[in-house]
């Protein structure tokens, strides 16, 4: 085994875990491969929140059978993450060319499982839980200037549509001291932006300290010397005034918040077990914008949840018109086997759901364009991520509010050198999902 390739599906936590998988493999002497075809070890780090994630995984793994039968029988294929945790040995039954299956609780076992598979038999290990955190493992970060820092793993919310508690386990919080120690090391290593991760960051510490202490964690990280702090995901039922105050007071905390609403109807929210009301959510938005008038808000929303009526959906549209999100991730409901919602009556016909989805998208795009246009002519500091995908002669970066900015400079070979640098730009054009800018000397 000389080279590896990791394919990641899903959320930011999976991206973090993939960096740890890469770190583990490199400590064993493997080097990253440029492609699947060049790799001796191929690892799929999977997500099972959406149905299409299962389909994409099955399609991609199935396509690799020809790689093993076409002259490279020694290639090792591993499936981990949420689908590995959920399905275990049934993966090797459906896809016999898979050599290794591991779950969300035993990433550290991957090297030993690969060694066992190299000896000629499938190696499957899925644990029900773990007392360790993946953050304790070596890491190969995707970007030297950015780091994912999990503060919790697992989830205690049990939203009726969500599989996460069943594949990630109950919520566990890391000690504040361990988080700050990791952050201090990252800052010393030149990291300029840190994203704190948890299925519900706002409930951080309830299991360990008896009461949520996310405001303390956020303040500790914000005062570490790092230049930018982001966090995800923030559950509305636990977002406190103390957290809002830290966001407003600490300049290193980005004026950006992802606050999933899922529905604007109290009846649907109850069916989802979200444990907040429409009124509570809108009150949070008012408090956030009073404390930080320039904050950028994004959200998640599910259309076509079982039992959703026309009146329920109109309440969602009304909420979106009121909040005017900068960005929204919109999903058509898909049942996940093993969740309570999968057994609910009154499914919404797909044609009705699609019509509702299309109407919502129009509002989402209009509010996003409006948010972008408010930045026209303003001065923004962006963190350069590299060459623009629109034009490799340009650079791409993000504002503190998370807006993508393509900078009209002749980047050329300087793109890699400038990645991770901060640049002041003036916004010259505003499209729905991106901005154009020019450097300010």
Residue 413's domain comprises 379-439
Locate tokens 């409901």: which residue? 333
Would you say 187 and 72 are in contact if contact means Cβ atoms under 8 Å apart? no
Give me 295's structure tokens.
Answer: 């904050």
109-144 confidence digits (pLDDT tens): 999 999 999 988 889 999 988 877 878 888 999 999
* Whole-number percent of the chain with pLDDT over 70: 98
N- to C-terminal Cα distance for the chain? 49
Asked whether the predicted pLDDT for residue 416 surpasses 90, the reply is no
Residue 167: both structure tokens together: 């594949």
Residues 362 and 317 both lie in one domain: yes
Q: What CATH number corresponds to the domain at position 423?
A: 2.40.50.140
pLDDT (tens digit per residue) in 235-278: 999 999 999 999 999 999 999 999 999 999 999 999 999 999 99
Q: Is the pLDDT of residue 67 over 50?
A: yes
pLDDT of 186 strictly over 60: yes
The pLDDT of residue 95 is above 70 = yes
12: domain CATH number?
Answer: 3.40.50.12160
Mean pLDDT of the chain: 93
- Tell me which residue has tokens 């090297």: 111
What sign results for the dihedral spanned by CA atoms 279, 284, 289, 290?
positive
The pLDDT > 90 percentage for the chain reads 80
- In the predicted model, is pLDDT for residue 411 greater than 60? no
- Bridging pattern class, strands 404-407 and 422-430: unpaired
What is the rounded average pLDDT of the residues 360-373?
98
pLDDT computed for residue 97 by the predictor: 92
Whether the model pTM is above 0.85: yes
- Taking only the tens place, the pLDDT of each residue in 294-337 is 999 999 999 999 999 999 999 999 999 999 999 999 999 999 88
Assess whether the previous peptide bond of 233 is cis (omega < 30° from 0).
Answer: yes
Residue 140 sits in the same domain as residue 246: yes
Q: What angle do CA 211, 215, 220 make, to 5 degrees?
A: 120
Query: Residue 84's pLDDT is what?
Result: 93
pLDDT category of residue 79 using cuts at 50, 70 and 90: very high
- Residues 176 and 275 reside in one and the same domain: yes
Spatial neighbors of 292 by CB under 8 A, at least 6 apart, are 244, 247, 248, 255
pLDDT for residue 189 is more than 80: yes
CA angle 78, 84, 85 (to 5 degrees): 145
Which of 373, 389, 419 delimits the end of a domain? Answer: 373
Q: What is the model's pLDDT at position 222?
A: 98
Q: In the prediction, which pLDDT does 415 show?
A: 52
Same domain assignment for residues 68 and 185: no
Q: Which H or E run contains 4?
A: strand 3-8
pLDDT of residue 371: 97
Helix-strand-coil percent breakdown of the chain, rounded to 5? Answer: 40, 20, 40
165 and 267 housed in the same domain: yes
Q: What is the CATH number of the domain that holds 313?
A: 3.80.30.20
Q: Is the pLDDT of residue 6 over 90?
A: yes
- Residues 361, 212, single domain; the answer is yes
More confident residue, 120 or 370: 370
Give CA–CA dist 160/271, Å, rounded.
Answer: 7
Same domain? For 243 and 315 the reply is yes
Residues 96 and 38 in one domain: yes
Compute the distance between CA of residue 304 and CA of residue 276 in angstroms, rounded to an integer. 19
Residues 428 and 367 in one domain: no
User: pLDDT category, 231, cuts 50, 70, 90?
Assistant: very high
Instruction: Decide: helix, strand or coil at residue 9.
Output: coil
- At 37-54, the pLDDT tens digits run 999 999 999 988 877 777
Predicted confidence (pLDDT) at residue 81 exceeds the cutoff of 70: yes
Q: Count other Cβ atoms within 10 Å, centred on residue 270.
A: 13
* pLDDT number for residue 413: 47
Q: Are residues 167 and 282 in the same domain?
A: yes
What is the count of structural domains for the chain? 3
Distance, in Å, from the CA atom of 275 to the CA atom of 418, rounded to the nearest integer, reads: 45
With H, G, I as helix, E, B as strand and everything else as coil, classify residue 173. Answer: strand
- Tell me: pLDDT of 153 over 80: yes
Question: What's the rounded Cα separation, in Å, for the pair 202 and 174?
Answer: 13
Given 125, 142, 176, the domain boundary residue is 125
pLDDT value of residue 195: 97
Q: Which residue, 108, 125, 142, sits at the end of a domain?
A: 125
CA distance linking residue 43 with residue 395, whole number of Å: 31
Does 291 share its domain with 173?
Answer: yes
pLDDT score of 220 more than 60: yes
Please tell me whether residues 184 and 322 are part of one structural domain: yes
What average pLDDT does the segment 340-368 reach?
A: 97
């Amino acid at each position: 085994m000389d080279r590896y390739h990791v394919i990641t599906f899903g959320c930011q936590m999976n991206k973090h875990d993939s960096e740890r998988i890469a770190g583990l493999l490199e400590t064993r002497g493997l080097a990253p491969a440029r492609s699947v075809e060049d790799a001796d070890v191929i690892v799929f780090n999977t997500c099972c929140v959406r149905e299409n994630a299962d389909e994409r995984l099955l399609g991609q793994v199935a396509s690799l059978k020809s790689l093993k039968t076409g002259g490279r029988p020694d290639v090792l294929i591993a499936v981990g993450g949420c689908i590995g945790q959920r399905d275990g040995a049934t993966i090797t039954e459906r896809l016999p060319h898979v050599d290794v299956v591991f779950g969300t609780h035993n990433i550290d076992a991957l090297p030993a499982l690969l060694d066992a598979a190299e000896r000629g038999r499938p190696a499957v290990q899925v644990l029900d839980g773990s007392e360790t955190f993946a953050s304790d493992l070596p890491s190969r970060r995707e970007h030297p200037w950015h780091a994912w820092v999990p503060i919790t793993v697992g989830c205690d919310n049990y939203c009726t549509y969500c599989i996460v508690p069943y594949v990630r386990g109950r919520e566990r919080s890391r000690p504040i001291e361990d988080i700050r120690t990791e952050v201090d090391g990252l800052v010393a290593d030149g990291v300029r932006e840190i994203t704190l991760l948890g299925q519900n960051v706002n409930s951080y510490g309830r299991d360990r300290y008896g009461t949520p202490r996310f405001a303390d964690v956020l303040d500790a990280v914000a005062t570490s010397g790092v230049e930018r702090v982001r966090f995800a995901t923030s559950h509305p039922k636990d977002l406190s005034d103390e957290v809002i105050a830290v966001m407003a007071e600490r300049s290193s905390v980005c004026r950006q918040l992802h606050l999933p609403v899922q529905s604007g109807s109290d009846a649907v929210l109850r069916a989802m077990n979200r444990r907040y009301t429409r009124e509570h959510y809108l009150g949070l938005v008012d408090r956030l914008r009073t404390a930080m008038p320039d904050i950028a808000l994004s959200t998640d929303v599910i259309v076509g949840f079982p039992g959703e009526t026309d009146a329920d959906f109109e309440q969602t549209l009304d909420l979106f018109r009121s909040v005017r999100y900068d960005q929204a991730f919109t999903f058509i409901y898909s049942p996940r086997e093993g969740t309570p919602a999968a057994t609910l009556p009154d499914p919404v016909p797909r044609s009705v759901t699609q019509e509702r989805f299309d109407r919502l998208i129009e509002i989402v795009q209009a509010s996003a364009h409006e948010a972008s246009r408010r930045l026209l002519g303003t001065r923004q500091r962006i963190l350069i991520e590299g060459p623009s995908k629109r034009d490799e002669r340009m650079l791409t970066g993000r504002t503190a509010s998370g807006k993508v900015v393509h900078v009209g400079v002749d980047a050329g070979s300087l793109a890699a050198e400038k990645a991770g640098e901060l640049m002041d730009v003036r916004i010259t054009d505003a499209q729905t999902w991106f901005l154009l800018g020019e450097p300010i000397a």
